[in-house]
Amino acid sequence: TLGKASQTALQPGAQVLVKGGEVISITSANRIVPTASGTPGLPIVWSRYGGDGGRPILEGGDAGNVQAIFLNSQSWHTVTGFEIRNILNTYAVYLSNTSNVTLDDVHIHDVVEGIHPTPTTTTNAFTLRNSTIKNVRLTPDGGGQSRAISVVPTSLNWRIEDSEISNVDLSCLSDQGTNTLLDNVNVHDCGEANVSGDRQ
**191 vs 84: which has the higher pLDDT:** 84
Bridge partners for 111 per DSSP: 87, 136
Rounded distance, CA 195 to CA 191, Å?
Answer: 12
In contact, 60 and 83? CB cutoff 8 Å? no
Side-chain-side CA neighbours of residue 12 (13 Å) = 8
Q: Judging by beta carbons within 10 Å of its beta carbon (0-12, 13-18, 19+), is residue 188 exposed, middle or buried?
A: exposed
Cα–Cα distances (Å) from 56 to 7, 20, 51, 107, in that order, read 20, 5, 9, 11
Q: Helix, strand or coil for residue 191?
A: coil
| Average pLDDT of the residues in 114-137 | 96
| Average pLDDT of the residues in 153-177 | 95
pLDDT of the residue at 51 = 77
pLDDT of the residue at 192 = 77
The whole-chain average pLDDT of the chain stands at 92
Say yes or no to pLDDT of 194 above 80. no
Q: State the pLDDT confidence band at 146, using cuts at 50, 70 and 90.
A: confident
Residues 26-71: tens digit of each pLDDT: 999 999 999 999 999 999 999 999 877 799 999 998 767 899 999 9
Q: State the pLDDT confidence band at 141, using cuts at 50, 70 and 90.
A: low
* Helix/strand/coil (H/E/C) assignment for every residue in 115-146: EEECCCCCEECCEEECCEEEEECCCCCCCCCC
Say yes or no to pLDDT of 196 above 80. no
Cβ neighbours, 10 Å, residue 41:
8
In contact, 136 and 147? CB cutoff 8 Å? yes
